[in-house]
Amino acid sequence: MLFTSYEFIAFFFLLIVLYYLIPGRYQWMLLLAAGYVFYWAANPDYLIFLLAVTVLTYTAALLIDQSLVNQKKYLKNYGGEMDRQAKKEYKALQEKKRKKIIVWFLIMVLSILASAKYINFFILNLNSILQTMGSGRQISFIDLLLPLGISFYTFQAIGYMLDVYRGNISAEKNFFRYALFVSFFPQLIQGPISRFQDLARTMWEPHPFRGKNLQNGLLRVLWGYFKKLVVADRLLIVVDLLLEQPEKYCGAYTVIIMIFYTVQLYADFTGGIDITIGIAQVLGIEVQENFRRPYFSKSLKEYWRRWHISMSSWFRDYVFYPVSASRAMQKISKGAGKLWGAKAGKRLPVYLSSFVVWLATGIWHGASWNFVVWGLLNWAVLMISEELEPLYVRFQQKFAFYGRLPYRLFQVGRTFLLICILNLFDCYEKVSVTLKMLFSVFGAENWKIFADGSLLCLGLTAADYIVLAAAVFMMISVSLIQRRGSVRTRIAGMRYPAQAAVWIGLFLMVLLFGKYGIGYDAGQFIYNRF
Amino acid sequence: MKAGLLCREIFGKSESEETYMKKRRNILILRALSTATVVVVMLAGLQRVLMPKYTGADREGSMIGEYYSQEKDHDVIFIGDCEVYTNFSPAVLWEEYGINSYIRGSAEQLIWQSYYLTEETFTYEKPKVLVFNVLSMMFNEPQRESYNRMTLDGMRWSASKIKCIEVSMTEEENFIEYVFPILRFHDRWSELTKEDFTKAWKKDPVTFNGYYMRVDTLPAENIPEARKLGDYRFGENAYYYLDKLTELCQEAGVELVLIKAPSLYPPWYDEWDQQIEEYAEIHGLKYYNLLDAAEEIGLDYSTDTYDAGLHLNLSGAEKLSRYFGAILAEDCGLPNRKQDRELALKWEEKLQAYREEIKRQKTLTDNSAAQ
């Protein structure tokens, strides 16, 4: 059951009715059942993965929590009789035990993710090595199931486990309540990757019906469908066609691919998140925002603070900080400090930790080298920008136009172009093809395609392009208005006829201009496969 | 303010506050209802405009729906695919034999669709004879969505229609898109023509009692050779619905007559013919392979077809109807109803329209030939 299916829409409306009919204390149970039905409808076998991740992380958190409680109790009871050294030793011993638990459970949970997502990538690379070594032996690929959104709920569950380990939160004792946190259906297959402390408790609370939640939530859902069906799936037609034949569609077509794919990715992912947040709001639950107008960023660094925020902060908190604070990094820092000075000693661990984060981010996005290269390119650009920062500052101080609108627009345009180029690595599985396509732009002789009607041979009619342009204009306008506050609050403040016109207009646009139904592959969202 | 709060605590809400709340609730309900009405009316109108009108080159989608505006006392109902709606002329059957007939044909009508259309037809009327063209026995499973639409969208909502949709849908189809066709045809917004607006609520019939008239000629010259099949046996599903059709007719007291229309293509294999013959014999049905009787009918495939042998043109359809009318009158004992004044008057009107259409099409054909 996907967000864009009729079955899902029926499921959602039925759920709303039931949700507000039953007593508030049972609402969370209904949500739990809904999550499992939703995932089961996509494929019954997916449930095995969901259950395994839930059981493992629940158990690990309980064991760790128990160890912390026991430690506290022990110290309370016998702490008075122990000297400082004995206490320290006892704490270290307990910490070691907990570390053992977390490491083992992390290995188990990550093994599930790896077995579903990365085993064939591993075999592919092993085969390449065997071939290079002259061995005629090749390992066969395994036909494995890749459950929708496995990376999202696995990371969410790992985050919970690590938070309990760090003592930031206590473990949830009720298995079913915890299971709801992992399987909350609106965010199950494409995030955001929520934190237990932000989401869980609001899910268990009773939620009385509030017209405002329904109104705001449904409007957000409708806006999400608009982005997905009117923009993303319209662009998908062209992007799919162009990506199918890189030999034919290169040169100037690469520019179209980069721009169209980048806009499609935005409309698809943010549209999906709008639907997620909107559904949660209808149910009275607040899910954190995952985007803050990312294409208005003036640098790549800023972009990554505004794009897929929950993933970036997850990697920051659970990968970057532990790696940069690790003993190994401290040693490297000291060594670098001695060799190249204190500044380098401070920076090197940051850069190396960032390298690990971006390598992991690339692999998280997909089990192929193009994603690894994409991740590392992001890292390289960010690190170069960081190194050149003093130069920028000097430049900005020297010229008066810095900070003015034209320069800000230039910065936004430059960052968008950079994102377009980086996104090209998402498009082709082979890095060599991506590079070939990228370089084909410079020697392109087919720029006339923008004027000779070639664009009308890519699966979209002139009317489609008009709709697309108008829809993109709408998305930009909404983002601009958003900078000054919530658009939905503004709409709610309008007179009733104007409000109704917005609702009906948006609904009709989705209904008429959306690419769905027979002949269209609206189905999956791009981020469902991650 | 304080006094007001105190009053509220003691006596509950004040009368004016209650009236205000009531008013506000009423306004909200009124707003919701009026908005819902506007949306429903708007959607209904849009749906009408967006649905294909089937009045141009693809008229076949209009046929099923035209039946409902007809009088319902037909002697014969023809049921089946294009081989019935292009090959038989009810006007000739009336003129020559006084037989009141109607063709409930549609493009690539599959046998389960024929069955449910018959079931639905029998709720309106019980003809004396039901003529079923057996070509659709070659299909054992749903085929194409576009053809499903041409048969199913025209049907009025009934239990038969629901069952018919369920068994006809291909994997890519969704029942909800039949309930709300706007979901299927929403993307026609960019190809709308003036006709989509002018014919959204009312359109002229495209058939003459279900007959799709074509007066032009394209001789049958190179009929593709029939390719050999691995298995000539009709599918289980096809037989299942043929059995159901037979039972339905028996229960309704309607004589089921099986025919194979004299179209040269798609091929009709001897092995298929044999199976239908056997079936007819076992079930005591009449079966006429009119393809074998082409000479006797007087069909000349160089002048009597408009698309090289797939379908008969007016000339061919009239010859076939004269021939088959005699069978209906003699073998099935259908009476000549020309004495029925009311019916005769209705037919007079229909015949006039029929003749005018012949004239119109002939002028068009002559003009295009002259050019």
pLDDT in tens, B197-244: 998 888 888 999 999 999 999 998 887 888 898 899 999 999 999 999
Residue A377 within a domain: no
CB contact under 8 A, A512 and B177: no
Mean pLDDT computed over A97-119: 90
Residues A73, A151 within the same domain: yes
Residue A375 within a domain: no
Q: Which of A397, A372, A402, A478 is nearest to A122 (CA)?
A: A372
Sequence-ordered list of residues with C-beta below 8 angstroms from that of B128, at least 6 positions apart, any chain: B75, B76, B254, B255, B332, B334
Residues B213, B267 within the same domain: yes
pLDDT at A528: 58
Nearest CA in chain B to A229: B187
Residue A394 within a domain: no
Q: Which residues of B134-149 are buried (b: 16+ CB within 10 A; e: fewer)?
A: bbbbbbbebeebebbb
Nearest CA in chain B to A463: B190
Looking at the complex, report in whole angstroms how far the Cα of residue B46 sits from the nearest Cα belonging to chain A. 9
Share of chain B above pLDDT 70, in %: 96
Residues A192, A267 within the same domain: no
Residues B287, B311 within the same domain: yes
Nearest CA in chain A to B190: A463
Domain limit, last residue, from A206, A224, A247:
A206
Residues A129, A252 within the same domain: no
Contacts of B174 in chain A (CB under 8 A): 6, 517
Residue A201 within a domain: yes
Residues B142, B41 within the same domain: no
Q: Which domain holds residue B74?
A: 55-370
CB contact under 8 A, B39 and A515: no
Bigger pLDDT: A530 vs B149? B149
pLDDT at B10: 52
Is the CB of residue B46 less than 8 Å away from at least one CB of chain A? Answer: yes
Share of chain A above pLDDT 70, in %: 98
CB contact under 8 A, B187 and A515: yes
Global pTM exceeds 0.90? no
Residue A477 within a domain: yes
Report the residue of A467, A503, A513, A518 to disrupt the B interface, i.e. the one with the largest count of B CBs within 10 Å: A518
Domain limit, last residue, from A206, A234, A265:
A206
Domain limit, last residue, from A187, A206, A225:
A206
pLDDT at A530: 55
Mean pLDDT computed over A470-484: 94
Q: Which residues of B72-96 are buried (b: 16+ CB within 10 A; e: fewer)?
A: eebbbbbbbbbbbbbbbbbbbbbbb
Sign, CA dihedral A451-A457-A458-A463, equals positive
Phi, psi of B102 (to 5 degrees): -145, 145
> Mean pLDDT over all residues of chain B?
91
Considering only the beta carbons, identify the residue of B31, B172, B182 that sits closest to A518.
B172
Residue A329 within a domain: no
Residues A247, A116 within the same domain: no
Nearest CA in chain A to B46: A512
Mean pLDDT computed over A214-229: 95
Residue A339 within a domain: no
Distance of alpha carbon B210 from alpha carbon B60, whole angstroms: 10
Residue B4 has pLDDT above 70, yes or no: no
Lowest mean pLDDT among A114-123, A253-262, A350-359, A375-384: A114-123
Distance of alpha carbon A214 from alpha carbon A490, whole angstroms: 16
| pLDDT band per the 50, 70, 90 thresholds, residue A529 | low
pLDDT at A235: 95
Mean pLDDT computed over B280-298: 94
Residues B78, B171 within the same domain: yes
Contacts of A502 in chain B (CB under 8 A): none
Contacts of A517 in chain B (CB under 8 A): 174, 177, 183-184, 186-187
Mean pLDDT computed over A286-290: 92
Residues A202, A264 within the same domain: no
Contacts of A513 in chain B (CB under 8 A): 189
pLDDT tens, position by position, A122-179? 888 888 888 888 877 888 877 777 788 888 999 999 999 999 999 899 999 999 999 9
Q: Which domain holds residue A70?
A: 6-206
Map residue A134 onto helix, strand or coil: coil
Residues B97, B238 within the same domain: yes
Residues B19, B126 within the same domain: no
pLDDT tens, position by position, B188-199? 998 898 989 998
Is the CB of residue B30 less than 8 Å away from at least one CB of chain A? Answer: no
Looking at the complex, report in whole angstroms how far the Cα of residue A460 sits from the nearest Cα belonging to chain B. 11
Sign, CA dihedral B245-B246-B247-B249, equals positive
Domains held by chain A: number: 2
Report the residue of B186, B189, B191, B196 to disrupt the A interface, i.e. the one with the largest count of A CBs within 10 Å: B186
Continuous H helices in A184-308: 185-188, 196-204, 211-225, 233-244, 252-282, 300-306
Lowest mean pLDDT among A223-237, A432-446, B9-23: B9-23
Residue B226 DSSP one-character state? P
Mean pLDDT computed over A298-318: 93
pLDDT at A80: 79
Sign, CA dihedral B141-B143-B146-B151, equals negative
> Mean pLDDT over all residues of chain A?
90
CB contact under 8 A, B177 and A517: yes
Residues A157, A219 within the same domain: no
Residue A442 within a domain: yes
Distance of alpha carbon B178 from alpha carbon A517, whole angstroms: 12
**Position of tokens 């923009």?**
A231
Considering only the beta carbons, identify the residue of B31, B39, B182 that sits closest to A496.
B31
Q: Which of A386, A407, A373, A191 is nearest to A302 (CA)?
A: A386
Looking at the complex, report in whole angstroms how far the Cα of residue B177 sits from the nearest Cα belonging to chain A. 8
Is the CB of residue A450 less than 8 Å away from at least one CB of chain B? Answer: no
8 Å CB contact between A276 and A192: yes
Distance of alpha carbon B96 from alpha carbon A115, whole angstroms: 77
Continuous H helices in chain B: 2-11, 15-50, 63-66, 82-85, 90-97, 111-124, 145-152, 159-168, 176-179, 182-185, 194-198, 236-252, 270-283, 294-297, 314-330, 341-370
Report the residue of B38, B41, B48, B190 to disrupt the A interface, i.e. the one with the largest count of A CBs within 10 Å: B190
Looking at the complex, report in whole angstroms how far the Cα of residue A464 sits from the nearest Cα belonging to chain B. 8
Residues A199, A228 within the same domain: no
Residues A16, A68 within the same domain: yes
| pLDDT band per the 50, 70, 90 thresholds, residue B1 | very low
CB contact under 8 A, A512 and B189: yes
Residues B102, B219 within the same domain: yes
Looking at the complex, report in whole angstroms how far the Cα of residue A461 sits from the nearest Cα belonging to chain B. 9
Sign, CA dihedral A329-A330-A335-A336, equals positive
Nearest CA in chain B to A502: B35
Residues A131, A244 within the same domain: no
pLDDT tens, position by position, B68-103? 998 899 999 999 999 999 999 999 999 999 999 999
| Terminal C-alpha separation, chain B | 92
Map residue A373 onto helix, strand or coil: helix
ipTM: 0.82
Bigger pLDDT: B9 vs A351? A351
pLDDT at A34: 95
Is the CB of residue A497 less than 8 Å away from at least one CB of chain B? Answer: no
CB contact under 8 A, B177 and A515: no
Beta strands across the sheet bearing B76-80? B101-105, B76-80, B129-133, B255-260, B286-289
Looking at the complex, report in whole angstroms how far the Cα of residue B38 sits from the nearest Cα belonging to chain A. 9
Give me the amino acid identity at A429: E
Phi, psi of B172 (to 5 degrees): -80, -10
Looking at the complex, report in whole angstroms how far the Cα of residue A517 sits from the nearest Cα belonging to chain B. 6
The CATH number for B187's domain is 3.40.50.1110
Mean pLDDT computed over B323-336: 94
Q: Strand B129-133 and strand B101-105: pairing?
A: unpaired
Report the residue of B29, B183, B196 to disrupt the A interface, i.e. the one with the largest count of A CBs within 10 Å: B183
Residues A167, A231 within the same domain: no
Query: Which 47-106 residues of chain B touch chain A by CB within 8 A?
Result: none
Considering only the beta carbons, identify the residue of B172, B176, B186 that sits closest to A6.
B176
Is the CB of residue B186 less than 8 Å away from at least one CB of chain A? Answer: yes
**Position of tokens 């076939």?**
B320
Q: Which of A271, A245, A252 is nearest to A459 (CA)?
A: A245
8 Å CB contact between A359 and A376: yes
Residues B111, B255 within the same domain: yes
Residues A175, A234 within the same domain: no
Contacts of A464 in chain B (CB under 8 A): 190
Residues B79, B184 within the same domain: yes
Residues A193, A257 within the same domain: no
Question: Before B142, cis peptide (omega within 30)?
Answer: no
Residues B15, B99 within the same domain: no
Domains held by chain B: number: 2
pLDDT at A135: 77
Burial class (CB in 10 A: 0-12, 13-18, 19+), B152: buried
Mean pLDDT computed over A41-57: 93
Is the CB of residue B35 less than 8 Å away from at least one CB of chain A? Answer: yes
Residues B33, B134 within the same domain: no
Report the residue of A496, A512, A520 to disrupt the B interface, i.e. the one with the largest count of B CBs within 10 Å: A512
Residues B205, B81 within the same domain: yes
Contacts of B39 in chain A (CB under 8 A): 504, 507
Q: Which residues of A123-162 are buried (b: 16+ CB within 10 A; e: fewer)?
A: eeeebeeeeeeeeeeeeeeeeeebbbbbbbbbbbbbbbbb
